[in-house]
Amino acid sequence: MLASMTFPLLPRSALAAAVLAAAALPAALPTAGWAAPADGSGATSATAAPSSKASAADSRFQRLAHDYIEALWALDPEAAVAAGRYEFAGKLNIPNDATRARQLSFAQQWLKRFEAVKAESLGPAARTDLGQLLNKLRADRFALTEMREFEWNPANVNVAGQLDLILSTDYAPLPQRLRALSSRLALVPAYYQAGEASLRQPTLEHTQLAIDQAPGVLSVLDEIGKALDDDKAKGFSTAQRQQLSERLAAARAAVLHWREALTTRLASLKASGDARSFRLGQALYAKKFGFDIQSAHSAEQMYQKALAAREELLARMDGLADQLWQKTQADAPKPADRFAKIGAVIDTLSAQHVKREDFVKEIRAQIPQLERWIVSHDLLTMDASKPLMVRETPVYQRGVAGAGIEAPGPYRPQDRTYYNVTPLDDLSDAQAESTLREYNHWILQILNIHEAVPGHYTQLVHANKSPSLVKALFGNGAMVEGWAVYGERMMLESGYGDNAPEMWLMYSKWNLRSVTNTILDYSVHVLGMTEDQALDLLMRQAFQTEREAKEKWRRVQLTSVQLTSYFSGYADIMELREQRRKALGDQFRLKDFHEEFLSYGSAPVHVIAELMGQRR
């Protein structure tokens, strides 16, 4: 897959489950999500469901998009499996120069064909699909020619995530899955050799991560070996077992060699000081931001917007802390420093939370309450035929505590959408208490707003009213995350939480996290922010725990641009809403704005703005 994941040890679904709302790991699964179309027929067309009025140009474009997607799966089996096309499970691309040359010429050829399509001749759904395809192809070209992560990020060389996905997804009987795994495993030694040969100047951080990931890869190989003992593996012949075991042994040796080679490399990079910096630098950051966020604003402008938003939030929190001081701190002297004052109030309020055994139950109870609020306040239509199923995260997907939406991929429209919540059973008392304080009485409600209603789940249901395979596969992550963050604010503006100062203060802390993510990402990758400065920004100035701050520091070293998607999408949506309000005057209706905004699917906000008749 060209889109890189920095933590590829977990299957895709587990990455989604690991999403703690705005603290998401770099896998915006809802982008790839897809709920069954209203007629239950399953998704088939490449773009919008053809209406009777679909023009000839739209149909021609749809055929072209369909041909491209099928050709892409044939070229890139890992992308195919990630999208749910398991008939490619037995293949694996060897990450060498020859493969990359093929991928580049493929991207260039398809780019020419899509650039020849006249956008003006297309309806809105096809036109936004065309925009997403052009952006994807240009982003692929950029990844192969300029980003060139294969030269510096060994953590992308990892077979575990997809092997685990193939093993644990029930897409076919186990013997068939084992045959696919066996074919794929045969290619693993060549895969790691090519990965090693491609490295030019790795960073210390990604090299260390790749070394740390090796035991996880070995454990997935062990799991495959254990699956042979499963009753369901009975149809797998003795000869096939023998072959699979030999391939597992060779794969294991390849991973051990890879780890050893990286360990040697890391030591010599440390000694010579020749490692590449994990900081992306201004030029690459600006370009990557352009492809991934697709905002009408530049990365630098977005950073400036985040700085302003931060000041506004802190001023508001300062006032709220004054308001809540006596109620929460009684006669304690009020610190002059606003961070100390706000932090003290947040700390006291955080003690109000559910009991650990009620965590899942409380989330389940809140979803219908949120839906009733949306309907009674005329904010959006809700589709009662697509209820969200709240469930405990399946055990094999756990690994990181949290909650998140798991939507079926575009090729499995018959599957349900789940809200996975990991119960706190496995945590120590201290860990559970820390998690419960973080997801306290107020923040837990905001989490549910973000993940479910009217956040990710509701957005998916609306997007699928005009199902688009292109946008389900290559949709804009900043729009998806931005909508969920926007939903939080919109709910509070509608009076949800009774306008209580406690609710607004906790909301502000939560929102400050998204804002700070943008500031941190830009500051670290472009402006050279140090670790000490970053930890101070996160802990003292954004009221995060040391654990959260340290995890964030690690994440910003290993990823770039993903952290900025939450605030960037949110800021663009807020700006669009206020422009529409101004342009429409008395005619502006919040519900109409929401419905129209969501009707275009997961397209970039500036594209939706154009379609809404707004020029910027």
Which spans of this chain sit near Zn ion (rule: CB under 5 A)?
481, 484
Closest residue to Zn ion, Cβ-based? 484
Q: Quick one: 184 or 462, whose CB is closer to Zn ion?
A: 462
- Cα→Cα distances 264→17, 153, 259, Å: 35, 16, 9
**Residue whose CB is less far from Zn ion, 54 or 478:** 478
| Pick 126 or 460: Cβ nearer Zn ion | 460
Closest CB to Zn ion among residues 137, 484: 484
CB of 10 to Zn ion, least distance (A): 17
Provide, rounded to whole angstroms, the least separation between the CB of residue 354 and Zn ion: 10
Structure tokens at 321: 């802390």
Per the DSSP assignment, residues forming a β-bridge with 418 are: 389, 406
DSSP letter at 394 equals: P
State how far the alpha carbon of 612 is from the alpha carbons of 58, 227, 260, 600, in Å. Answer: 20, 53, 56, 10
Q: If we measure between CA atoms, which residue out of 538, 501, 520 comes closest to residue 318?
A: 501
Q: Which two tokens stand for residue 15?
A: 């990455």
Rank residues 213 and 448 by Cβ distance to Zn ion and give the closer one.
448
Helix ranges (DSSP H) in 330-358: 338-349
Indicate the helix (H) or strand (E) that contains 304.
helix 299-329
> Could you tell me the smallest distance in angstroms from the CB atom of residue 23 to Zn ion?
9
Please say which residue, 429 or 498, places its beta carbon nearer to Zn ion. 429
Amino acid at 6: T
Distance of alpha carbon 202 from alpha carbon 275, whole angstroms: 6
Nearer to Zn ion, 438 or 481 (CB): 481
**Minimal distance in Å, beta carbon 423 to Zn ion?**
17
Half-sphere exposure of 409 (CA within 13 A, CB side): 15
Tell me how far, at minimum, the Cβ of 237 lies from Zn ion, in Å.
45
Q: How far is the CB of 352 from Zn ion (least distance, A)?
A: 8
3-state secondary structure of 403: strand
Name which of 471 and 580 has its Cβ closer to Zn ion. Answer: 471
Report which of 474, 477, 453, 302 is spatially closest to residue 386, judged by C-alpha positions. 453
**Distance in Å, CB of 405 to Zn ion, minimum:** 8
In terms of Cβ atoms closer than 10 Å to its own Cβ (0-12, 13-18, 19+), residue 41 is exposed
Tell me the closest approach of the beta carbon of residue 434 to Zn ion, in angstroms: 9
Instruction: Name the nearest CA neighbour of 276 among 151, 192, 155.
Output: 151
Q: What phi and psi, each to the nearest 5 degrees, are found at residue 415?
A: -75, 160
Instruction: Specify the residue, 62 or 440, whose C-beta has the smaller distance to Zn ion.
Output: 440
What are the Cα distances from residue 406, in Å, to 28, 128, 473, 557? Answer: 11, 25, 15, 27
Please calculate the CA angle 120-292-308 and round it to the nearest 5 degrees: 105
Calculate the CA 99 to chain-centre distance: 27
**For residues 61 and 510, which CB has a smaller minimum distance to Zn ion in the complex?**
510
And the tokens for 351?
């003690």
CB of 525 to Zn ion, least distance (A): 21
- Least distance from Zn ion to the Cβ atom of residue 63, Å: 34
- Minimal distance, residue 291 CB to Zn ion, in Å: 20
Evaluated on CA atoms 74, 465, 385, 492, the torsion sign reads positive
Closer residue to Zn ion (CB): 103 or 393 = 393
Length of the chain: 616
Q: Which is nearer to Zn ion, 187 or 556 (CB)?
A: 556
CA-CA-CA-CA torsion sign (440, 445, 451, 455):
negative
DSSP designation for 49: P
d(CA 469, CA 479): 17
Nearest distance, CB of residue 144 and Zn ion, angstroms: 29
